[in-house]
């Protein structure tokens, strides 16, 4: 700022009064503004005790502060990362690492349980027969150290899988090779009837004299259990097959059955009347079984004669009210059991057309 006209006239006399008045007026107007400008410039240059700040030269810009804070956080993060020992760079626990110089070769029992991460020993990590007994500390390989399905066939020593290692029902049919179950593998009394498929026990499966009486349930050996021609003479122990082991049909075949006829007959010219034409009493041996299995009859001449076979005075079902004619007939309507000392007889009940010469044969079957 400058005051206009200052030094314009050095004359001490007021030659130009009007100019002086104008000059004073200008000084009065511009002097406060000049003073304010000087004060503002001094305030802007000042760095101490300004707006309550002791020293503004110590202040930092926001950008400088942000950069400082970021650097400090980064240094803290790096320090924290360096101090961390778990789950770092894919390593679960870096404190478990050893330097190459520390490792060298593995000594006897050097690998302990704590050195192996759970599930780390997979099948692909093991070479066939690579893990020798001397490399593994006793009880070091726990269940948690084995990955699922890591124990392959080649990893199991012969004879290592004992009975207690097998889960109940673990040995299924497909796990057993053909002809792998030898005699020594079968527990006494373990092979029950339910374990044998129909026709499974062939001749080759039975040792000589292997099947004893006590091993066979009564009536257990049915036709379906035996392969064709499976039971040879050499497979049956002497005196092993008792009577109780045989079905009734087989007993009949082995014991043999024989038949005989008991005949009631009249001479060819003798007239047939309504009466009994004879009887006889059965005499059976001890253990003998007898049945009426059939009846044959005919007339020598005449029209017909109706008759019945009676057992102890009672008409026998299936053999009563039969009509005899001149043509012979054979009746077989069922089997009727009889006992020792039973009395059989033929009784004529009615006649027609003067019949003559009636003959009746009762056919008996005996088993012993």
CATH number where 296 lies: 2.60.120.260
Domain stops at, among 228, 254, 280: 254
At residue 4, does pLDDT exceed 50? no
Q: Supply 140's token pair.
A: 């070091």
Q: Kindly state whether residue 120 falls inside one of the protein's structural domains.
A: no
Give yes or no: residues 250 and 307 share one domain: no
Given a contact cutoff of 8 angstroms between Cβ atoms, the answer to whether 209 and 237 are in contact is: yes
Highest-pLDDT range among 172-181, 242-251, 330-339? 330-339
pLDDT (tens digit per residue) in 66-115 = 666 677 777 888 888 889 889 878 888 888 777 766 666 666 777 788 77
Given a contact cutoff of 8 angstroms between Cβ atoms, the answer to whether 246 and 213 are in contact is: no
| Vertex 75: Cα angle to 73 and 79 (nearest 5) | 115
Q: Supply 229's token pair.
A: 């021609």
Four-point Cα dihedral 240, 242, 244, 247, nearest 10 = 90
Q: Kindly state whether residue 13 falls inside one of the protein's structural domains.
A: no
pLDDT (tens digit per residue) in 217-272 = 888 878 788 888 787 877 887 777 776 777 766 665 656 679 999 999 999 999 99
pLDDT reported for residue 14: 47
Domain stops at, among 254, 272, 290: 254
Given a contact cutoff of 8 angstroms between Cβ atoms, the answer to whether 291 and 337 are in contact is: yes
In the predicted model, what is the mean pLDDT of residues 286-315? 95
Given a contact cutoff of 8 angstroms between Cβ atoms, the answer to whether 311 and 291 are in contact is: no
Give yes or no: residues 249 and 293 share one domain: no
Whole-prediction pTM: 0.34
Q: Kindly state whether residue 325 falls inside one of the protein's structural domains.
A: yes
Domain stops at, among 208, 237, 254: 254
Please enumerate in sequence order all residues whose Cβ is within 8 A of that of 81, keeping only pairs 6 or more positions apart, or say none. Answer: 88
Q: Which runs of consecutive H residues, i.e. helices, occur in the chain?
A: 17-45, 62-83, 100-103, 248-255
pLDDT reported for residue 68: 64
**Range of lowest pLDDT (1-5, 62-66, 231-235, 329-333):** 1-5
Q: Kindly state whether residue 328 falls inside one of the protein's structural domains.
A: yes
* pLDDT band (50, 70, 90) for residue 354: very high
Q: Kindly state whether residue 238 falls inside one of the protein's structural domains.
A: yes
Give yes or no: residues 359 and 261 share one domain: yes
141 CA to centre of own chain: 28
Give yes or no: residues 235 and 262 share one domain: no
Give yes or no: residues 264 and 335 share one domain: yes
pLDDT reported for residue 368: 79
In the predicted model, what is the mean pLDDT of residues 198-215? 81
* Dist. CA 133–CA 74, nearest whole Å: 51
At residue 315, does pLDDT exceed 50? yes
pLDDT reported for residue 322: 95
In the predicted model, what is the mean pLDDT of residues 266-285? 94
Minimal CA–CA distance to 305: which of 332, 264, 275? 275
Minimal CA–CA distance to 349: which of 290, 287, 306, 298? 306
Beta strands, E only, 114-175? none
* pLDDT band (50, 70, 90) for residue 310: very high
Q: Kindly state whether residue 157 falls inside one of the protein's structural domains.
A: no
At residue 185, does pLDDT exceed 60? yes
Q: Residue 359's domain spans which residues?
A: 257-367
Give yes or no: residues 267 and 362 share one domain: yes
Q: Supply 43's token pair.
A: 């305030």
Average pLDDT, the chain: 82
Given a contact cutoff of 8 angstroms between Cβ atoms, the answer to whether 324 and 299 are in contact is: yes
pLDDT reported for residue 138: 84
pLDDT reported for residue 195: 82
Domains identified in the chain, total number? 2
Give yes or no: residues 238 and 293 share one domain: no
Give yes or no: residues 284 and 344 share one domain: yes
Q: Kindly state whether residue 232 falls inside one of the protein's structural domains.
A: yes
Highest-pLDDT range among 5-9, 153-157, 254-258? 153-157
* pLDDT band (50, 70, 90) for residue 152: confident
Highest-pLDDT range among 147-161, 327-341, 346-360? 346-360
Q: Kindly state whether residue 264 falls inside one of the protein's structural domains.
A: yes
Give yes or no: residues 267 and 334 share one domain: yes
Which is more confident, 76 or 14? 76
At residue 181, does pLDDT exceed 90? no
Give yes or no: residues 267 and 356 share one domain: yes
Percent of the chain with pLDDT over 90: 27
Q: Supply 246's token pair.
A: 């045989």
């Amino acid at each position: 700022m400058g005051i206009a006209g200052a030094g314009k006239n050095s004359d001490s006399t007021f030659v130009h009064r009007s100019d002086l008045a104008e000059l004073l007026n200008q000084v009065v107007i511009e002097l406060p503004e000049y003073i304010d400008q000087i004060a503002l410039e001094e305030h802007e240059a000042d760095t101490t005790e300004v707006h309550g700040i002791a020293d503004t030269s110590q202040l930092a810009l926001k950008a400088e502060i942000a950069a400082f804070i970021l650097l400090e956080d980064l240094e803290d993060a790096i320090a924290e990362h360096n101090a961390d020992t778990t789950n770092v760079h894919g390593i679960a626990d870096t404190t478990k690492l050893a330097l190459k110089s520390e490792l060298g070769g593995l000594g006897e029992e050097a690998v302990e349980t704590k050195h192996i991460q759970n599930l780390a020993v997979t099948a692909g990590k093991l070479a066939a027969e690579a893990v020798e007994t001397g490399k593994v500390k006793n009880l070091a390989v726990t269940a948690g150290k084995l990955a699922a399905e890591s124990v392959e066939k080649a990893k199991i020593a012969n004879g290592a899988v004992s009975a207690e290692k097998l889960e109940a029902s673990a040995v299924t049919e497909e796990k057993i090779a053909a002809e792998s179950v030898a005699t020594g593998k079968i527990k006494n009394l373990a092979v029950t009837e339910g374990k044998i498929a129909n026709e499974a026990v062939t001749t080759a499966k039975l040792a000589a004299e292997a099947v004893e009486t006590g091993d066979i349930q009564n009536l257990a050996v049915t036709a379906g259990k035996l392969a064709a021609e499976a039971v040879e003479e050499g497979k049956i122990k002497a005196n092993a097959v008792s009577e109780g082991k045989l079905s009734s049909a087989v007993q009949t075949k082995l014991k043999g059955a024989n038949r005989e006829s008991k005949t009631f007959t009249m001479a060819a010219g003798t007239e047939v009347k309504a009466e009994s034409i004879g009887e006889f009493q059965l005499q059976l041996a001890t253990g003998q079984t007898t049945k009426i299995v059939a009846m044959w009859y005919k007339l020598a001449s005449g029209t017909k004669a109706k008759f019945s076979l009676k057992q102890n005075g009672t008409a026998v079902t299936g053999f009563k009210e039969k009509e005899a004619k001149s043509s012979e007939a054979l009746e077989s309507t069922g089997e009727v059991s009889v006992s020792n000392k039973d009395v059989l007889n033929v009784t004529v009940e009615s006649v027609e057309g003067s019949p003559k010469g009636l003959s009746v044969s009762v056919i008996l079957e005996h088993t012993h």
